[in-house]
Structure 1
């Protein structure tokens, strides 16, 4: 398990981030699969030698690997000719690695990998920017979000979008597609490329990582307890945003809250007097 966790550590830490680069994430998934397969094929003998050295150093009795393995969970009346070597290599070592590979395949299937690869072709600052792949992305995964006329508009806007992003210093230096989407809004260029902006926003909703979703459900268990089961959806939504986005909430001061409370609508009582 220590060796498996060392291999998957980098991928796990990357997927925990709220905003990650799609290409780097997919590279890490592929690299993790390769390393796990290499460990399965070539890692047993080195591991066994490490165990033997540890046992010899600490005077631990080394079991006979060719002896029949006695499984205390099974009935003694059942005849099982499984050897100790077979049990630890096949039933423990290989199974532990296979479970990790199966989970990676389930979470990052060929369809999900294709979708993320097509999304990565949206970045005009990279050599993989490909209008044909973007058209495939829209036709295959977002057919209900774009009409035929809007798809034609998208193809026209992509030409200008590519040149504009690459030539604009404030956009070309942004680190990710999410930042690029925000940059278009900040500069008012999203109105020039409405179809591109729509596609970027759709791509930003892709659950590359389940960390935010899992964090939301964990927070909900803490927030909506039995005494609070009558909490309305609006209040729960606001509470959850503050709880999950703790980094942003930490920047809000008590003075900001008081000012917002006093300025929104008419209140019977005021936290402080508003200067006229």
Structure 2
């Protein structure tokens, strides 16, 4: 890697080594491209909520835990889930949480937030730190809500196309639910749907 870099079997115009070429001209360029792509894909609020949520990263003995980030996460992104009393309780819990968990040998080798949540329930820490446990549970729903939102937008583009752009919102919602959960919808028997529809009220025409 310390040899002079040659471009197409001829010496490069720049006096650089192979290491310099592959590290700066290739690797760093790819990293810059990926960072730029991520910046355009995720909003500032999405990046901030992930940054604040990283406080619960249990690796390196909870070195990333910050009480101010935990309180900011609850106050800014989950205001309907935490009252003013809950916020005061959360602030108090943060003062004891890390010191308690770090001394507990049962939490050694915890590798993820989901693993932390499971162990808190298993070792009765969820009732001792109810506000922190609630916030962790809310964080764990992020991948589900994000995936559901992406599927919803994808479904909307398929269902409400140029030929069907005048349907009302209620009908669109019903169709999107059926399309998003099409695996489950495929297990429903059409005869059962027709029978339940007939029982819901009188009809001009009988379906069966």
Bucket of the pairwise TM-score, normalised by the shorter protein: 0.5 to 0.7
Tell me if 1:173 matches 2:109.
yes
Number of the residue aligned with 2:181 = 220
The answer on whether the counterparts of 1:123 and 1:177 sit within 8 Å (CA) in structure 2 is yes
Structure 2 Cα separation of the partners of residues 33 and 205 of structure 1? 34
Q: In structure 2, how many angstroms separate the alpha carbons of the residues matched to 1:231 and 1:118?
A: 48
Q: Which has the higher contact order (CA 8 A, sep 6+)?
A: 1
1:112 aligned partner: 46
State the Cα distance separating 1:191 from its structure 2 match.
Answer: 0.8
CA 1:229/1:135 → structure 2, altered by over 3 Å: closer, same or farther? farther
The alpha-carbon distance between structure 1 residues 34 and 165, as it changes in their structure 2 partners (threshold 3 A), is farther
Following TM superposition, the consecutive aligned residue runs of length 4 or more in structure 1 with deviations greater than 6 angstroms are: none
Alignment-derived partner of residue 145 in structure 1: 81
Q: Within 5 Å, which residues of 2 pair with 1:204-243? A: 204-207=140-143, 210=147, 220-225=181-186, 228-229=189-190
Contact 1:174/1:180 (8 A) holds in 2: yes
How far apart are residue 123 of structure 1 and its match? 3.5
TM-score, structure 1 as length reference: 0.42
Shift of 1:122: 2.5
Structure 1 unaligned runs (5+)? Answer: 1-31, 39-96, 233-276
Secondary structure of 2:143's counterpart equals: coil
CA distance in 2, matches of 1:230, 1:170: 53
Q: 1:229, CA displacement in angstroms?
A: 4.6
CA contact (8 A) 1:138 1:146 kept: yes
Compute the TM-score of the two structures, normalised by the length of structure 2. 0.55
Q: How many residues align?
A: 139
CA separation in 1, counterparts of 2:192 and 2:116? 37
The CA distance in 2 between the partners of 1:224 and 1:173, in whole Å, is 41
